[in-house]
Amino acid sequence: MSLPTRFPKNFQLATATAAYQIEGAKELDGRGFSTWDAIRSEYGRIRDASDPNLSCESRLKYKEDIALLAKIGVTSYRFSISWSRVLPNGTLSEISEEGVQYYRDVCLLLRDNGIEPIVTLFHFDMPLAIYDNGTSWLNKENCDHFVNFADLCFQKFGDLVKTWITYNEINMQAWSSVVKLTGEQWLCPDRPEIENHNQSPYIALKNMLLAHAKIYRNYEKNYKKIQNGVVGITNGGHFCFPASHSPEDQAASERALDWFFKSTIDPILSESGDFPVSMRENLSFLPNFTDDEKAILKGL
Rounded to the nearest integer, the mean pLDDT of the chain is 90
Average pLDDT over residues 111-126: 97
CA 209 from chain center: how many Å? Answer: 11
Span 149-173, average pLDDT: 97
Indicate the pLDDT class of residue 179, thresholds 50, 70 and 90. low
Inform me whether the pLDDT recorded for 238 exceeds 90. no
Query: pLDDT digit string (tens) for 23-56?
Result: 999 989 999 999 888 877 776 667 777 766 778 8
Domains of the chain as residue ranges with CATH: 14-236 (3.20.20.80), 242-300 (no CATH)
The answer, yes or no, to whether residue 162 has pLDDT greater than 70, is yes
Rounded CA-CA distance 156/295 in Å is 29
pLDDT band at 189 (very low <50, low <70, confident <90, very high): low
pTM of the model: 0.93
Mean pLDDT of 6-14: 88
Identify which has the larger pLDDT, 3 or 217.
217
Mean pLDDT check: name the lowest of 62-76, 130-144, 258-272.
Answer: 130-144
Reported confidence tier of residue 118, pLDDT bands at 50, 70, 90: very high
